């Protein structure tokens, strides 16, 4: 974390220095107070009282200014530090592989980005101000006490082991609880995130009550551990108070004895000295309480820091190839080759999703993949863009192993329309230009036209400038799919992958889209995943995937003649297909 703080080192030094000014004034005040009592009040010297009073006011003002400046510097450093850490964590999250985000839940990532960063931020702030304040006050207080009477200093020092044992006892119990608190917070955020994002499904299934209970349960658990840890820590304050008051009693007792013995003598104990000593003892013990609280905060921040480092230090699993610059220069053809590729999802190693797939897709070919749900179609194409890396075997794009490319270049060569159309809260036009922000409006229109999106976009109130609400909720499923397709078409990559991207389109629109694709995007290699035969029959070749194995590859006619599974799917769809009456 120091790495992120280094940039603000000037403020990190100035904040404690100004704080020293403030504490210095606090430490001097009881000294002046003593003079006011002993030399002014007791001796009836009004002039002295006024002079010292003015001096005290000036010191207070100076201390106040120092305090304000310290606050300003500490705030500046802390807020910027927090911002930098948040940015670093966010950047890292953006670069996590699918495998890693699958492992850490979204809820937990949100907690880490928000609450955990705040905990660490608070710790930095406290270190710069309160740690310095309490530390100096503690040491300075003991020194001042020693100046009044070594016995007073001794009383305070004797109290210290009791204080330390108390702090050690409470914090030892509380420390492990802090990680649990953060985990419970993860859970609350997890439920919250899932339910807010999936509010429509919750409503559709009238599951509000159930989800509220689920949220309540997570919340109760959080409250439970929070209560436990706070109840434990609640003992710490009174325990410190008891010790503090015992110290005050001891000090008054010793002070009174000293006053009886040496009172009135030059350099002996005076009432002002006892008053002064009492202020210092209170100061010292307050600072000790504060330090104890800070330890508690530090242990909590430490738990957060570990969680942040888990994200920040997580290894980059999917990275640019070693000789990426060279690989990136390879000729863009649009060919794809799978060589003995097998795949298991990390964490689900017992279930192979793809088995020994070998396959070549030629440049400019329209290659369709058909298969039952869960047969591994999406998984197969995800390996091309390296959303995951193959467990065994290799995938090649344009004759180069995908692992050798720079990720940016690879993902520029491959344009994917994911199975779930994801749109962002911005205008339709910005959603389409997402992959190529510099595209001209004519290009945007052309892509939208090919994606069969133009008509409905023009019918929107503001046309291309119409704002899409979060998650694309203001659009229908088919409209979202078409905008996603337009977004991919605009990228004009050599390879276009459509993962079940026309499932929500009616057959007529789908046929028109395939026609536009054939006409306007000829040179592009197209991989079309679909469930409907109508969507794939026009393809150059169709691959039938069955439980991660290639069942057959051929044209529609060839497969109809030879592939049982294809015939089965064909027959099951024949009726509805004929009713639709449209062939792609």
Would you count residue 375 as binding Mg ion (CB under 5 A)? no
* Between 23 and 357, CB nearer to Mg ion: 357
Would you count residue 140 as binding ligand ATP (CB under 6 A)? no
Would you count residue 531 as binding Mg ion (CB under 5 A)? no
379 binds, among Mg ion, ligand ATP, none (CB under 5 to 8 A by kind): ligand ATP
Q: Pick one of 371, 472, 478, 538: the residue that binds ligand ATP (CB under 6 A).
A: 371
The answer to whether the beta carbons of residues 186 and 111 sit under 8 Å apart is yes
* Between 9 and 348, CB nearer to ligand ATP: 348
3-state DSSP call for residue 405? coil
- Helices vs. strands in the chain: H and E counts, helices first: 23, 10
* Between 17 and 504, CB nearer to Mg ion: 504
Would you count residue 584 as binding ligand ATP (CB under 6 A)? no
Binding mask 118-137 for ligand ATP (x = CB under 6 A): --------------------
Would you count residue 377 as binding ligand ATP (CB under 6 A)? yes
**Closest to 102 (Cα-Cα) out of 305, 376, 387:** 387
Binding mask 482-501 for ligand ATP (x = CB under 6 A): ------------------x-
CB of 378 to Mg ion, least distance (A): 3
Q: Which residues contact 98 (CB under 8 A, 6 or more apart)?
A: 382, 387, 388
State in Å, rounded, how far the first CA of the chain is from the last one: 58
169 binds, among Mg ion, ligand ATP, none (CB under 5 to 8 A by kind): none
- Cα torsion 443, 448, 451, 456 to 10°: value is -170
Would you count residue 433 as binding Mg ion (CB under 5 A)? no
Count the neighbouring beta carbons within 10 Å of the beta carbon of residue 224: 13
Q: Pick one of 114, 314, 419, 460: the residue that binds Mg ion (CB under 5 A).
A: 419
Would you count residue 375 as binding ligand ATP (CB under 6 A)? yes
CB of 196 to ligand ATP, least distance (A): 22
The helix-helix angle for 150-197 and 132-148 (nearest 10°) equals 170
| Residues touching Mg ion, count (CB under 5 A) | 2
Query: What 3 state SS string does 532-578 have?
Result: CHHHHCCCCEEEEEECCEEEEEECHHHHHHHCHHHHHHHHHHHHHHH
The answer to whether the beta carbons of residues 394 and 357 sit under 8 Å apart is no
State the Cα–Cα distance between residues 468 and 428, nearest whole angstrom: 6
Would you count residue 484 as binding Mg ion (CB under 5 A)? no
Exposed/middle/buried for residue 121 (C-beta within 10 Å: 0-12, 13-18, 19+): buried
CB of 360 to Mg ion, least distance (A): 22
* Between 23 and 369, CB nearer to ligand ATP: 369
Q: Pick one of 205, 210, 348, 441: the residue that binds ligand ATP (CB under 6 A).
A: 348
Query: What 3 state SS string does 261-290 have?
Result: HHCCCCCCCCHHHHHHHHHHHHHHHHHHHH
* Between 101 and 440, CB nearer to ligand ATP: 101
Fill in the DSSP letter of residue 334: -
Site for ligand ATP, residues 413 to 472, rule: CB under 6 A: 419
Q: Pick one of 345, 387, 456, 521: the residue that binds ligand ATP (CB under 6 A).
A: 345
State the Cα–Cα distance between residues 104 and 560, nearest whole angstrom: 45
Would you count residue 501 as binding Mg ion (CB under 5 A)? no
Would you count residue 97 as binding ligand ATP (CB under 6 A)? no
Would you count residue 76 as binding ligand ATP (CB under 6 A)? no
Q: Pick one of 100, 276, 378, 535: the residue that binds Mg ion (CB under 5 A).
A: 378
* Between 231 and 349, CB nearer to ligand ATP: 349
Q: Where are the alpha helices (DSSP H) in 104-235?
A: 106-111, 117-126, 132-148, 150-197, 199-204, 208-234
Would you count residue 535 as binding ligand ATP (CB under 6 A)? no
CB of 500 to Mg ion, least distance (A): 6
* Between 62 and 387, CB nearer to ligand ATP: 387
Q: Pick one of 127, 378, 479, 501: the residue that binds ligand ATP (CB under 6 A).
A: 378
CA Rg, the chain, in Å?
A: 36
CB of 370 to Mg ion, least distance (A): 12
CB of 364 to Mg ion, least distance (A): 24
Tell me the C-alpha to C-alpha distance, in Å, between residue 13 and each of 6, 7, 84, 323. 11, 12, 19, 44
CB of 189 to ligand ATP, least distance (A): 21
373 binds, among ligand ATP, Mg ion, none (CB under 5 to 8 A by kind): ligand ATP
User: Candidates 172-180, 273-281, 369-377, 574-582 — which segment interacts with ligand ATP by CB under 6 A?
Assistant: 369-377
Query: What 3 state SS string does 431-475 have?
Result: HHHHHCCCCCHHHHHHHHHHCCCHHHHHHCCCHHHCECCHHHCCC
Q: Which long-range contacts (CB under 8 A, 24 or more apart) does 150-158 make?
A: 151/254, 151/258, 152/251, 152/254, 152/255, 152/277, 152/280, 152/281, 155/247, 155/250, 155/251, 155/254, 155/281, 156/247, 156/281, 156/284, 156/285
Would you count residue 276 as binding Mg ion (CB under 5 A)? no
User: Candidates 88-96, 247-255, 374-382, 479-487 — which segment interacts with Mg ion by CB under 5 A?
Assistant: 374-382
* Between 354 and 453, CB nearer to ligand ATP: 354
* Between 369 and 450, CB nearer to Mg ion: 369
Q: How far is CA 18 from the centre of its chain?
A: 34
CB of 325 to ligand ATP, least distance (A): 32
State the Cα–Cα distance between residues 299 and 295, nearest whole angstrom: 6
**Closest to 132 (Cα-Cα) out of 237, 279, 17:** 17
User: Candidates 181-189, 196-204, 312-320, 412-420 — which segment interacts with Mg ion by CB under 5 A?
Assistant: 412-420
CB of 110 to Mg ion, least distance (A): 26
State the Cα–Cα distance between residues 432 and 439, nearest whole angstrom: 10
**Closest to 584 (Cα-Cα) out of 420, 452, 416:** 452
Would you count residue 546 as binding ligand ATP (CB under 6 A)? no
268 binds, among Mg ion, ligand ATP, none (CB under 5 to 8 A by kind): none
| Residues touching ligand ATP, count (CB under 6 A) | 14
> What are the residues binding ligand ATP (CB under 6 A)?
102, 345, 348, 353, 371, 373-379, 419, 500
> What are the residues binding Mg ion (CB under 5 A)?
378, 419
């Amino acid at each position: 974390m120091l790495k992120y703080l280094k940039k603000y080192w000037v403020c990190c030094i100035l904040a404690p220095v100004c704080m020293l000014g403030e504490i210095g004034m606090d430490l001097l005040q009881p000294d002046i107070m003593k003079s006011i009592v002993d030399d002014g009040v007791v001796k009836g010297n009004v002039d002295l009282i006024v002079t010292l009073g003015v001096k005290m006011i000036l010191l207070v003002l100076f201390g106040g200014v120092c305090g304000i400046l310290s606050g300003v510097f500490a705030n500046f450093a802390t807020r910027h530090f927090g911002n930098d850490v948040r940015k670093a964590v966010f950047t890292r999250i953006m670069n996590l592989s699918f495998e890693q985000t699958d492992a850490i839940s979204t809820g937990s990532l949100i907690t880490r980005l928000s609450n955990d960063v705040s905990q660490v931020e608070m710790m930095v702030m406290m270190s710069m101000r309160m740690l310095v304040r309490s530390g100096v006050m503690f040491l300075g207080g003991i020194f001042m006490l020693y100046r009044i009477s070594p016995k007073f200093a001794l009383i305070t020092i004797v109290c210290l082991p009791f204080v330390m044992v108390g702090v050690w006892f409470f914090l030892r119990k509380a420390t492990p609880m802090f990680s649990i608190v953060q985990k419970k917070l993860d859970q609350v955020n997890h439920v919250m995130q899932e339910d807010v994002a999936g509010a429509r499904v919750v409503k559709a299934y009238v599951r509000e009550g159930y989800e509220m209970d689920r949220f309540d349960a997570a919340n109760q658990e959080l409250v439970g551990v929070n209560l436990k840890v706070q109840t434990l820590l609640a003992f710490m304050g009174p325990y410190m108070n008891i010790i503090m008051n015992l110290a005050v009693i001891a000090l008054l007792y010793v002070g009174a004895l000293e006053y009886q013995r040496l009172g009135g003598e030059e350099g002996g104990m005076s009432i002002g000295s006892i008053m002064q000593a009492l202020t210092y003892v209170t100061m010292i013990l307050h600072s000790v309480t504060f330090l104890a609280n800070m330890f508690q905060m530090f242990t909590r921040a430490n738990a957060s820091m570990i969680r942040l480092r888990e994200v920040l230090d997580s290894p980059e699993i999917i990275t640019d190839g070693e000789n990426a610059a060279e690989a990136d220069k390879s000729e863009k053809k649009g060919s794809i080759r799978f060589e003995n590729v097998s795949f298991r999802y990390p964490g689900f190693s017992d279930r192979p999703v793809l088995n020994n797939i070998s396959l070549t897709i030629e440049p400019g070919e329209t290659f369709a993949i058909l298969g039952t749900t869960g047969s591994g179609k999406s998984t197969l194409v995800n390996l091309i863009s390296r959303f995951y890396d193959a467990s065994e075997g290799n995938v090649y794009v344009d004759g180069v192993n995908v692992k050798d490319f720079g990720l940016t270049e690879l993902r520029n060569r491959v344009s994917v329309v994911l199975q779930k159309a994801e749109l962002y809260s911005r205008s339709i036009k910005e959603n389409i230009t997402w992959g190529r922000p510099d595209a001209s409006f004519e290009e945007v229109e052309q892509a939208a036209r090919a994606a069969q999106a133009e008509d409905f976009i023009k019918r929107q109130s503001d046309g291309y400038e119409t704002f899409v609400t979060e998650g694309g909720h203001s659009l229908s499923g088919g409209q979202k799919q078409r905008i996603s397709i337009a977004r991919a078409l605009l990228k004009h990559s050599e390879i276009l992958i459509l993962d079940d991207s026309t499932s929500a389109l009616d057959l007529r629109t789908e046929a028109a889209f395939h026609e536009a694709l054939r006409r306007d995007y000829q040179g592009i290699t197209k991989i079309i995943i679909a469930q409907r035969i109508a969507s794939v029959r026009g393809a150059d070749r169709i691959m039938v995937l069955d439980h991660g194995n290639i069942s057959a590859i051929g044209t529609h006619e060839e497969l109809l003649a030879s592939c049982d599974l294809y015939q089965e799917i064909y027959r099951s769809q024949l009726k509805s297909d004929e009713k639709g009456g449209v062939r792609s």
